[in-house]
Structure 1
Amino acid sequence: MKRPLYYLLCAIACTSMVSATMPMAAIAEAIRPRATAEQQAQADAASSDTGKAEDGANTSAAADTEEDGTATPTGTSAANTESANGTAATPGTPATPGTTAATDTPTPSLLAQATPTPEAISTTSQTTYAHSATATQNGVTFTVSWNDAPAGTATTFHVTQANGSSQAKARMDVPTYWDGGSQESVCDPSRPAWASYHSLGTAGHDFTFDFTASGTYRIHFYFMDNDRNDPQNDKGIYYLRTTAEVTVNDAARPSVTQIVNGAVNLCRQQTNGSKYDMALWLHDWTLDQLEYDHSLNWCSAESGLTRHQGTCESYQRIYSKLLDAAGIANGRITGNGHTWNAVKIDGKWCQMDLTWDDTSDN
């Protein structure tokens, strides 16, 4: 009985000596769970990330109204800036002289990112802007204001009202894009985000959008201020519109026409020039440019070639532009909410569905 008691007393004494020599902080660190230390390391790494901005956006303002409204554009002179930091070039897309939107034609980045839909952000404290467009009706004035922003970063459009009621609302319509060729809607206007009105209140509301290609973008803003249930508060404004135009001239962000012409020039160099070989080459090149947009928002050649996202509309429009530039007869086929291409090769028409041919995503 004495020996076990002796061992017990020795163990207690050793423990007391270790506790006396090790600080409490060291003891706590030694017993801290491993997961906590790893989480802290990840947090430290995340806090060190930085971003890069690209320059190059020119802006101008225009305004128009409906139903007896008047419009006054201000700040219409554009502030010209050029990109100092070009995005990564895509091999095999040479520049093409003689296009309309930009003076230089570097190849497009395959990593361009963009804000997909108009999005509310915290109300800005800024009170002065480089550009604005106004519309007035029934004594109420609606104003859209914005500053020049580097191409590829979000431009904020600040919308306010003066002399309106608490019912005043606004929405941002789908931007349209034009670079000397055909005009197109960048996004699908049927998506709910583009039809949603937001209350202006006294602070206003902010919308954002990214401009990713050289060319001209036009954005309509729609306003309403009415309350049939409260005649004293009814301003009678059901449809009032003002328009903002933003012109991008950035050497690092070529226009859609420049990208298309560059691809066709490369196609001529890498094929035997037959319509069959060129149509096949341009088909495969298109599939390398974009992935299917499952949000169903992006639907243009602009979005497919500069944001690298698009629905069947993007696939069909890009391929049609390429075939037109290559001198190959083509047409558009639609059915069951889908669209694809018809192509005339060696005197015969065939159908080509690039959306479903993009096997990496479909």
Structure 2
Amino acid sequence: MKRPLYYLLCAIACSSMVSATMPTAAIAEAIQPQATVEQQAQAADTSSDTGKAEDGTNTNTTVDSAEDGTATSTDTSAVNTESADGTAATPAPSLLAQTNPTPEAISTTSQTGYAHSATATQNGVTFTVSWNDAPAGTATTFHVTQANGSSQAKARMDVPTYWDGGSQESVCDPSRPAWASYHSLGTAGHDFTFDFTASGTYRIYFYFMDNDRNDPQNDKGIYYLRTTAEVTVNDAARPSVTQIVNDAVDLCRQQTNGSEYDMALWLHDWTLDQLEYDHNLNWCSAESGLTRHQGTCESYQRIYSKLLDAAGIANGRITGNGHTWNAVKIDGKWCQMDPTWDDTSDNWYGDLDQRHLYFGLTDELMAIAHSDHTANYQKNDYAYRSTDLSNNYFMRNGKADEWAEKYADRIQQHLDAKEKSFSIDADNQSFPPSISGIQNGIVAYAMNLREWKTGKSNAAIQAVSNFKTCSSTSWEVTFDFTVKYTNEKRTVGQSRQTARFSI
């Protein structure tokens, strides 16, 4: 899978089964003329990739207030109509499954009977949303009409939210312009579509307007009238997010030794295998990542967090630079994980495994990639302070020691000369500082844990990785050392000084 473009710039097989969807009561709300209310709600819900609020969820509740509008709903049938025999052949979804990303208006259907509807009325104008159940793999069509309205009557479909007993989340990023677009209803109405891909409850708000201040004859005084459609999916062919997560954790327990590190690593890699980064920045949920196989950093972070929660591994959410990632507590020690930036098949930097570059970092090293994080970990109430690299991927698989060994002879020459401070050029001079800085911070940590001697003296070294930018395309990358020589023997098992990081 490819790393997000902004990084270069700085960022389910299911068998065929019977489908059953049951919409619950739909309710409407008449909102008084206040043009800024909806705009403020949109601005507050943008995703982390474009400045999203940290919880990333749509906080609208199922209870709507009707000020001077009324609403009714009908549910004439709870029986699926997906096929003549009540079954639907559902192919296993592709990793790159194509779904309707936004509520596009489509040609009006000739269908006049619908199983479900929600109606809202204000100032004598009635707006109706009607729909039928759809089988897995088929988008549901919501037919929106108006009665007694003017030629100015229009409607839009808001971002669906999803809930399956866990936390509620917006399936898509509501800040995307397409979700704010209104469509004229005219006399025929408009159709909006959405594909429900997981068992659980989806809630969709439809907003209506009918006003024209410049034409009193067409001014119905309706600025924001809302109706709510809820669709509950209970279909084994479309497992819920919770079911997918629990199944993955069960498999993880079978395929690992059960340690927190091994499980965190397995779940990290499993997450990367589930989705591609959505460069359109529309899909931003665990639902989209696990059932549509697309998502932004919000999807990666939420999926990994749900997996860790199900596995009983403590974790937290970190944000910075319009991005979000995870803090994970392994064997009592916090470390930083960025599954979004690890999601790559690239291999541009020698034997550096880019798919695990951001697995188990300290706060300081993560701040090399996400500069806003410096302010995060310097706060007194920061709960995820990560100062240890003992659970770093390259420390645990021995690669860091292998890299450090390449410098051993050069370091030893300076120690034999009893130098108390010296510098050595790093071997990854051609790597961008955002890569070399992280790699060398890990290497310095490994250097500081090694036993160093010269003659009869022990040498306690403190290695620090540094880089200096010379131009936009060139930089100097070094390891700087300070040494303390002593004849005292270090107690077996005592750790050396930990690495320090300088940018």
Q: Shorter-chain-normalised TM-score: which range?
A: 0.7 to 0.9
Structure 1 stretches of 5 or more lacking a match? 90-104
Task: Pick closer, same or farther for the CA change 1:143–1:274 going to 2, 3 Å.
Answer: same
- The alpha-carbon deviation at position 181 of structure 1 amounts to 1.0
CA distance in 2, matches of 1:315, 1:6: 15
Q: 1:265 to 1:235 in 2, by over 3 A?
A: same
Deviation at 1:248, TM superposition (A): 1.3
Asked if the contact 2:264–2:308 (Cα under 8 Å) also holds between the matched residues in 1, the reply is yes
Identity score, percent: 91
Residues 271/282 of structure 1: CA separation in 2 closer, same or farther (3 Å cut)? same
Structure 1 residue 13: Cα displacement: 71
Deviations 1:8-45 (A, max 9, x none): 99999999999999999999999999999999999999
Q: Is the 8 A contact 1:63 1:135 kept in 2?
A: no
Q: Is the 8 A contact 2:12 2:291 kept in 1?
A: no
> Does structure 2 conserve the Cα–Cα contact (< 8 Å) formed by 1:216 and 1:245?
yes
Residues 227, 280 of structure 1: alpha-carbon distance in 2 compared, 3 angstrom cutoff: same
Give me the whole-angstrom Cα distance separating, in 1, the residues matched to 2:6 and 2:317. 96
Q: State the distance in 2 between where 1:70 and 1:270 align.
A: 56
The Cα shift of 1:232 comes to 2.3
Within 1, Cα distance between the matches of 2:50 and 2:101? Answer: 22
Q: 1:349 to 1:231 in 2, by over 3 A?
A: same
Offset, 1:346: 1.5
Cα deviations by residue, 1:139-187 (Å, 9 ceiling, x for unpaired): 1100000111112211110000001111101000000111111111100
What is the CA-CA distance between 1:251 and the residue it aligns to? 1.1
Please state if 1:131 is matched with 2:116.
yes
- Distance change in 2, residues 1:261/1:107 (3 Å): farther
Query: Contact between 1:156 and 1:209, CA under 8 Å: does it hold in 2?
Result: yes
Q: How many residues align?
A: 345
Q: Deviations over 1:76-129 (max 9, x none)?
A: 65225799999999xxxxxxxxxxxxxxx9997646432111111111111111
1:35 aligns with 2:57: no
Q: CA RMSD in A?
A: 23.6
- 299-308 or 117-126: bigger deviation: 117-126
Residues 1:230 and 1:326: Cα distance change in structure 2 (over 3 Å): same
Taking structure 1 as reference, are residues 44 and 268 closer, same or farther at Cα in structure 2, changes over 3 Å only? closer
- Would you identify which runs of 4 or more consecutive aligned residues in structure 1 move more than 6 Å? 1-63, 81-89, 105-109
Structure-1 separation of matches of 2:235 and 2:268: 28
Asked if 2 retains the 8 angstrom alpha-carbon contact of 1:342 and 1:349, the reply is yes
Give ranges in structure 2 of 5+ residues lacking alignment. Answer: 344-501
Equivalent position SS for 1:288: helix
1:213 aligns with 2:206: no
Change (3 A) 1:279 1:126: same
TM-score normalized by structure 1? Answer: 0.73
Q: How does 1:1-362 map to 2 (within 5 A)?
A: 64=64, 66-75=66-75, 77-80=77-80, 110=95, 112-358=97-343
Shift of 1:130: 1.0
Deviation at 1:259, TM superposition (A): 0.3
- Whole-Å separation in 1 of the counterparts to 2:143 and 2:233: 19
Q: Between 170-179 and 35-44, report the one with greater CA deviation.
A: 35-44
Equivalent position SS for 2:45: helix
Q: Distance in 1 between matches of 2:86 and 2:62?
A: 29
CA contact (8 A) 1:55 1:85 kept: no
Distance 2:229 2:253 in 1: 39
| SS of structure 2 residue aligned to 1:62 | coil
> Which of the pair has the greater relative contact order for Cα pairs under 8 Å at 6+ separation?
1
Aligned 8 A contact 1:75 1:131 in 2: yes
- Larger mean CA deviation between 72-81 and 300-309 belongs to 72-81
